[in-house]
Amino acid sequence: MPRPVMFSLKLEKRRKARRFALLIAVTVLILGLGMIAVVAVQGFDLLGAAEADRMPMVLAVLGALAGLVFLSLIAYAAARIYGRVTTR
């Protein structure tokens, strides 16, 4: 990949820090989705055996997904802040 005419080591480090932050956020999101899926499948199996109301479980899964997105955004922001502090 050719380097731009105005190459700056500082800008290159910031770009790498952004990529690293995105990698962290995506990793948190994927691992969280996997854990939520496992717990949700087990919970729905238990509810199916007991023939109970599924709405509380659906709301719990949606709440967990919202919390996971929020946690992923926090991880991204923390990694970006760390990258900005270390590239000075």
Q: What is the pLDDT of residue 8?
A: 79
Residue 80 near residue 25, CB atoms below 8 Å: no
Residue 77 one-letter amino acid: A
Q: How far apart are CA 69 and CA 46, in angstroms?
A: 26
Q: Could you read off the pLDDT of 28-87 as tens digits, one per residue?
A: 999 999 999 999 999 888 887 777 788 888 899 999 999 999 999 999 999 999 988 887
Residue 84 near residue 74, CB atoms below 8 Å: no
Q: What is the pLDDT of residue 4?
A: 59
Q: How far apart are CA 51 and CA 77, in angstroms?
A: 42
Q: What is the pLDDT of residue 64?
A: 96
Per-domain residue ranges of the chain: 26-86
pLDDT value at 1 more than 70: no
Q: What is the pLDDT of residue 16?
A: 87
